[in-house]
Structure 1
Amino acid sequence: MKFASIRVVTADVQALKGFYAALTGVEPTDLAPGFSEIRLEGCTLAISSEDIINKVNGGAIVPRSNRSLMLELEVDDVQAIQTRVTDSALAEIVQPPTVMPWGNTSMLLRDPDGAIVNIFSRPKR
């Protein structure tokens, strides 16, 4: 089994595509109207419209309703991302860079749909 992607279902594909493209620096690949992928090292972030889910999956997913999932993006420099996010007013910073008990430096953002995004770096060894 291979972990392939995380899919976020949204009522506003353009807003999420723009947010994640600006955050990651990776341009989305549009595969169909209302369905795009941001292909990152290690995993793909798929973004699809609520309309597609309602057509093909019977409305099995409800946008903006998840409070138990955290998207995590590993970076080399959390402070640099904080500066970019702050300077561009890209997202609400929920938690400023903080050193976790296991050594990672972690900053939490909120995406346009309200999901939490953890931007983190591992300690240098």
Structure 2
Amino acid sequence: MTFASVRFPTDDVPGLVAFYEQALGITAQWANDQFAELVTSRGTIAISATALTDRFAAASVAPRSNAGLMLEFLVDDVDADRDRIAELAGGLVMEPTTLPWGNRSMLFRDPDGTLINFFTPVTPEAAARFGGR
């Protein structure tokens, strides 16, 4: 089995896509005006209109209800991204902080409230978990 993607239903597809394009520095691939994908080296973030899912599985998704989900992105330098992300997200949930397991992380939310972690391994042990990065 191979992980393929995570999908976020939303009532504002263009707004959420624009946020992720700016945060990740990648351009979305649009299938139509209700569905776009942001393809990373390890998986895909799909963003679709709530109405699209409702057409096939009515009331099966609830936008803005991802309280138990955290997306995590390995970045080159959390501190270098801090100001850009704080402005884009309208603030941070957690300032860049070095955590006990050796990652330097910052937390912020996307416009629909999903928690996002940008992190950089800063100890040799943490770097080893990510291929020496």
Q: 1:29 is matched with which residue?
A: 29
Q: 1:55 is matched with which residue?
A: 55
Deviation, 1:124, is 4.8
Q: Is the 8 A contact 2:102 2:123 kept in 1?
A: no
Paired amino acid for 1:119: F
Q: TM-score, normalised by structure 2?
A: 0.88
Q: 1:39 is matched with which residue?
A: 39
Superimposed CA distance per residue, residues 30-73 of structure 1 (whole angstroms, 9 cap, x where no aligned partner): 01221000001101000011110111222211000121000111
Take 1:83 and 1:114, find their aligned partners in 2: how far apart are those partners? 19
Q: 2:17 is matched with which residue?
A: 17
Gaps of 5+ in 2: 125-133
Structure 1's consecutive aligned runs of 4 or more residues displaced over 4 angstroms after TM superposition are: none
How many pairs align?
Answer: 123
Deviation, 1:84, is 1.7
Matched, 1:79 2:98: no
Q: TM-score, normalised by structure 1?
A: 0.93
Q: 1:107 is matched with which residue?
A: 106
Q: 2:129 is matched with which residue?
A: none
Structure showing the higher strand proportion among its residues:
1
Q: 1:64 is matched with which residue?
A: 64
Root mean square deviation, CA, Å: 1.1
Take 2:10 and 2:54, find their aligned partners in 1: how far apart are those partners? 11
Q: Give aligned-pair identity as a percent.
A: 41
Paired amino acid for 2:95: P
